[in-house]
Every structure is written in C-alpha cells, then in structure tokens.
Structure 1
Amino acid sequence: MKDFIIVGFGLAGLSFAEILDRNQKSYVVFENNSELSSRVAGGLYNPVILKRFTPAWMASEQLALALSVYKNVEKQLNESFITELPVLRRFNTVEEQNLWFTACDKPILNEFLSSDLVKNENVALDIPFQFGQVKHTGRIEVKKMLCSYLSYIETRQLLFKESFEHTALDVQEDYVSYKGIRAKNIIFCEGYGLRNNPFFNYLPLQGNKGEYIIIKSKDLQLQEAVKSSIFIIPLGGDLYKVGATYNRDDKTSVVTELAKEELRMKLDRFLNVDYEIVDQVAGIRPTTKDRRPFVGTHREHLNLHIINGLGSRGILIGPYAAKGLYDYITKSTPLHTEIDIKRFD
C-alpha cells in the first residue's frame, strides 16, 4: 500500500513529490510527457506583474516557499537549477516611468521594486528611458529540473512512463487501486490534460497556448532578463529565450509561423543587432478564469485530489499549492478559500 499515486509531473507534481520525499511518504508517479507547459515555461521567478506594476497574489509567501523547495531539490539531486537573474522593465513612456515610482512607494511593493532606475549601457537595445529593476528575481531551469527529478524517481523504480487510464482506477472508501497498485490517495497534476479526467473535468479549466522562440546573437551580450512587450531571457552561450505569446483559441502544442512573426515583430522594435532564430517551442498553459489554481479534494471521493490551473506563474504558486494540499490531507488544515475547488461546488 502506497501513500500516494501522482498523475502528471510538471511543477505541481514535482512540488508534491518533494513534500512526500521530505516527509518520508511512499508514492509512485505516472507521466507520459503529453502535457508540456512546465517544460516550455520561461523559467523566471518574478513576484511582480510588470504590465501593471502590481504584486502577484501572495507574492512574498510564495517566493520564500518556492525558493526553499527548489533549493532542497538541488541539494537532494546534487545539481544546480537556480540562477539569480535581474529583471529589468523597459519603460515606453515618461508616464510609465512615473507609475513605477508610484508603485515603489506602496508598502506591498517596495520590497520588490527598486526606486533607483538603471541606465541602459547596452547598445544592442533601443531604450529611450531608463529601466526599472525588480528585486528578488531569478531563473529556474525548469526542464532540466523536471527531467532530473524524473530520473531520480525512475532509479527508485517509482516511475511509470505511460498514459493514465482513468477508467481503470478503482476507488474504494479508504484506498484506490490502479493496475495492481494500491494507495491511500491519488493526486491529479495533469495540467491541460484535466479535460480528459472524468473525476475533475467539471472544473472550468481554460487552456492558453504560449509560444517562445530561442534566438542566438553574439552581439546582444545581455546579462539580465529584459521585459518590454515580451521577455528576453539569457540562457548562456549567446542564446536567449524570447516570448511569450498568449492564444486562447489554439489548443494544440504545435509551433506556428504566426506566433514566430509576432515575437519577431515585437523584438525588432527595440533590438538593434542581428540575431538568428534557432528554435521555437509551444505548450498549453492550464489557466483559470479567476487566476487561482484548482486545489482540493473530490466532493464525493475523499481520496481523490487535484492540483491544477497554475497558469503562467507555476514556478511560484506550485510549491504553495502543493504544501496547502498536503497539509489539508495529512493535518486537516483548511485550504485557502481562493484556491479551494469547493468554490465551484
């Protein structure tokens, strides 16, 4: 009898597995790599919504917890995934620059926004005004971290690389059984795959397709992540991730020429040097209408649970959602009402 079965292994699944390992709980993972939103994420952890200069929901709590979890993963796997990386916001107008100073004076934001503007000294960038800098930011190598953790699980013979067949799940009052595996609980972390889950597909998940391009430029020489209408994120080796697009209509993971041209057009507005597009990636973000994740327990089957709908801020919110669900299951600690799926009952 296992303590948990985890279905899906993006940032939600990894965050929950890390808690189980830390608390010496037994589990197995089912992952078939069909939903890749975590693997194509930009990888930045940034506590501020830079379009409007507002804090992300529960930014302080989530940032501290997320970094603690990812540092523990680094230690556990003896690898490095976290890099501190400044995030600079390009101002398009004097009015935007003034709004930045207004935001800096707000108590909820002054720990994250620097009131000392940064002068652009990179001739590769067309920056008519100065930059605003966000504090406490960095980059997680998400794809590398997920792959390394899956390898770690596989060496312990806890990984099943196959699609999960929901119809084969036998749900009893005090355990679940799936193809000979019994567990006290099962956690569904399937991302956009939730649409095929008969136990939780009543939840109003919205798919949002995002695409990035990877460019190579020897002349850019950028050491910070720059946010304008898009992000430029340095990857090392003269490579940069540029994105992302947002498409609510296309629900495929196929890269498109339309997205490539949109990103190229936005990049050309403020990049003064030549570059080459060397790759393009796409994925469906599991998003929700109220921008809060789906976390909780099935209304009838009390050993079926879910973490989903992390959206574009899964790096920060994933560990918070996983801890909330674990404490709810093991300690009966109430979930935050804004993430509890009971809001849809």
Structure 2
Amino acid sequence: MTDCDFLVVGHGLAGATLAYVLRQRGYRVLVFDPGQADSASNVAAGLINPVAGKRFALTWNANELLPAAASFYRELEQCFGQQFFFEAPIFKIFGSLDEQSALLTRSPDHPWGDYVASLATTDPGLPGVQAPLGGAWLRHGGHVLVRELLAALAAQGEREGWLWRETFDWTKLVTDPTGARYAGRVQARHVICCEGAAATQNPYFNWLPLTPNQGEVLDVECAGLSSAQVLNRGAYVVPVGGGRFRVGATYRWPPFADGPTETARQELSGRLAAITEQPFAVVGQRAGVRPAVRDRKPLLGPHPTVPSLSFGGGYGSKGVLLAPRLAGLLADWLEGKAELWPEVDLRRYAALYRPAAGS
C-alpha cells in the first residue's frame, strides 16, 4: 500500500503546479495522469497577458497574479536549468479607428496602471507587421513553454516515482472523514481533483458549472515577421524561436470536433494574414478542450459532503497566469493557513449540488 499526504488527479497546469507547491512544502504527493498529448495545457501557447479582450480590460487580480507567476516560473527554471518563461512586450494592434479612439479616450484615466507602456497612433514600423493605425504597447507580459515545462516535471515525477502514468478510476475511491483509499493500492490523507474539462464526467464534481470549450492553435514559419514581441489583433502571435510562431486561439462550443479542423486552420490563417503581409507556412496544428467556468473564475475548494476530497481547476484560457498563485492559495487552505478567495471558492455554487441517489 502506497501512503501519501495528498493524491492529485491530473498533471496539467493546475495539478502540476499544486503538486509542485505541496512537494516543496515537504508533503508526500502522488499524482495520477494518463499523459494525454492533446490536453488543454499541452496545446496552450502559454501567453501571459495583463490586458486582454475586445474591451481592453485589465486582467482580474493582475497585481497579485502576474508577479506570482513570474516568480514561480523563474523558480522552475532554476530547478531544471532550462528556460520556460520569456518576458516580452505585447503589441495590441488597433483594428479600426473606433477601437483607436475608444482607447485614446480612456487612456487619461490610466485604468491599466503600469501595464500599458504607451499608445501609438501611427504604424510603429515593426518588420512584417501591418499596423497602420498603431496600437498599444503592454508590459509585464510574456509567454511560457507549457509543454516543455510539464514534460520536465513529468520526467522528474516518473523518475522519482511520484507520478503514475495511468487513468484514475473514481469508482475505486473509498473515502471517510480521515482520508481516502484507492483501489486497495493507495492510502491518502486528502485527494484533489485537477482533471480539467474531464471533471464534467467525474461522479463527485460533475455538478460544477464547467463549460468546456475547444481551442485550436497553429504553429507557423514566417521568416519576415518581427519576433521581438507578442502580437495581438483578433489572435495572438507568440514567437517560439527560429522564425516560428504560435497563432491562436479559436473558441468552439460543444459538440467538439475530433482533433484539429480545416475550419480552424483557415480562421487562424486569416487572422494572421490580417497582421502580416509576409508569406507563412503552417507547420503544425493542435486542438485541446479548456476547462472554462460559467462566471470565468476558477473553482477551488472542498466537496460539499466528502471532507477528504477537493477540487482545483476551471482556469479556462488563463491557466498559465492563474495556476501558480492559485496553487499556493489552495495549498495554504489545505494546510488550514488561509481562507479561499470568495471569487474562486467553489462553494459559491453550493446550491447546484445534489447528492447522488442512495448516497
């Protein structure tokens, strides 16, 4: 029988960051993950963007989330001797005079704090970039090599024995007030579900208001396009080195396609063509399903009736930014050292819970 303090189900960004934080605090952690190549975390471009969306809104809780994310990824770089986090300016291209005017009207109020470095009303002359109306330069952003980061952590986990490459069967979990047992093989003090969109099929957490959506990204080669910054106009264009860029992302609601689609390829190619006049070649395409939530805030906290079981996830398209700080918050709560933030506490949806028949 394997004995651990915490059993984490899922090794995407939510599970991997939580498992790392708990292990750093000295706990015995066991992680179950089947190693799905097209998970949302493995598909993600890893963008960290302080100001996003058509409304040009400051990211929720940016002042706390951004420095926590940067610090966390730098720590992992030191741990593995490998660069994962690339700080880079983001140039948000104005797509119309109305958009330009709206931003210039708002700018005297400085609603974005230190995150908007400057607003340009003319083409800044970036190589290969079409920006006749200028745009906004954002700072304190960048991108993370998520696939590579998770691969490094997984290799460590398999080598050290705390990551088991298998699918967790929730029907084999037996819980009581003092802990949980799994399949006659594992004894844990507490179990945390970090399965992402798959939690919609979890018998303990399928009542949560997860609204998964599918996203696709392209990898392209474009030798003449500036790689000194991340570009954004209807799509993000993230430089990944060697004249390559990751372009994304689409949003598709159920029913989901089985893998990448030609429709998404054409959509993203069209968005890139609006940003650059340079020729480009699509060299890769991937699709994954994001674990979004109805109110666009994550879900953290305990099962309503099973004290030894909790949930962490629902990060949607902002997992790279959210995961580090929320892993620390959830770990603090598991240790009894802090309360969960009301905005992310899953108990805000307690009224949706209905016990299973016969339970």
How high is the TM-score relative to the length of structure 1? 0.95
Gaps of 5+ in 2: 351-359
> Is residue 275 of structure 1 aligned with residue 291 of structure 2?
no
1:61 is paired with a residue of what secondary structure? helix
Mean Cα displacement is larger for which, 86-95 or 263-272? Answer: 263-272
1:288 is paired with a residue of what secondary structure? coil
Superposed CA offset, 1:219-273 (max 9, x none)? 2243211100111111111111111111112334500011111111222223211
| Percent of paired sites with the same residue | 31
> Is residue 308 of structure 1 aligned with residue 310 of structure 2?
no
> Is residue 215 of structure 1 aligned with residue 250 of structure 2?
no
Q: Answer yes or no: is the 8 Å Cα contact 1:30–1:161 preserved in 2.
A: yes
Mean Cα displacement is larger for which, 17-26 or 109-118? Answer: 109-118
Mean Cα displacement is larger for which, 53-62 or 100-109? Answer: 100-109
- Alignment partner of 1:113 out of 99, 111, 116: 116
- How many angstroms apart in 2 are the aligned matches of 1:103 and 1:224? 24
Q: Answer yes or no: is the 8 Å Cα contact 1:176–1:184 preserved in 2.
A: yes
Name the structure 2 match of 1:25: 27
Q: Answer yes or no: is the 8 Å Cα contact 1:188–1:305 preserved in 2.
A: yes
Q: Answer yes or no: is the 8 Å Cα contact 2:118–2:138 preserved in 1.
A: no
Paired residues, number: 345
- Alignment partner of 2:83 out of 74, 80, 84: 80
Mean Cα displacement is larger for which, 168-177 or 246-255? Answer: 246-255
Name the structure 1 match of 2:100: 97
Gaps of 5+ in 1: none
Name the structure 1 match of 2:355: none
Code of the residue aligned with 2:51 in structure 1: it is: V
Code of the residue aligned with 1:74 in structure 2: it is: E
Tell me how far 1:334 sits from its aligned partner.
1.5
Name the structure 2 match of 1:3: 5
Mean Cα displacement is larger for which, 130-139 or 243-252? Answer: 243-252
> Is residue 143 of structure 1 aligned with residue 147 of structure 2?
yes
Name the structure 2 match of 1:68: 71
CA spacing shift, 1:17–1:103, aligned 2, 3 Å: farther
- How many angstroms apart in 2 are the aligned matches of 1:206 and 1:189? 15
Q: Answer yes or no: is the 8 Å Cα contact 1:77–1:152 preserved in 2.
A: no
- How many angstroms apart in 2 are the aligned matches of 1:318 and 1:253? 27
Mean Cα displacement is larger for which, 140-149 or 37-46? Answer: 37-46
Name the structure 2 match of 1:234: 239
Code of the residue aligned with 1:155 in structure 2: it is: R
Code of the residue aligned with 2:92 in structure 1: it is: R
Name the structure 1 match of 2:43: 40
2:73 is paired with a residue of what secondary structure? helix
Tell me how far 1:115 sits from its aligned partner.
2.7
- How many angstroms apart in 2 are the aligned matches of 1:253 and 1:81? 30
Code of the residue aligned with 1:195 in structure 2: it is: T
1:251 is paired with a residue of what secondary structure? coil
CA spacing shift, 1:31–1:236, aligned 2, 3 Å: same
- How many angstroms apart in 2 are the aligned matches of 1:52 and 1:108? 12
**Coordinate RMSD, CA, aligned:** 1.6
Code of the residue aligned with 1:48 in structure 2: it is: V
Q: Answer yes or no: is the 8 Å Cα contact 1:255–1:282 preserved in 2.
A: yes
Q: Answer yes or no: is the 8 Å Cα contact 1:209–1:250 preserved in 2.
A: no
Name the structure 1 match of 2:357: none
Q: Answer yes or no: is the 8 Å Cα contact 1:89–1:228 preserved in 2.
A: yes
Name the structure 2 match of 1:157: 161
Matches within 5 A, 1:47-66: 47-66=50-69
1:114 is paired with a residue of what secondary structure? strand
- How many angstroms apart in 1 are the aligned matches of 2:279 and 2:5? 54
Name the structure 2 match of 1:173: 177
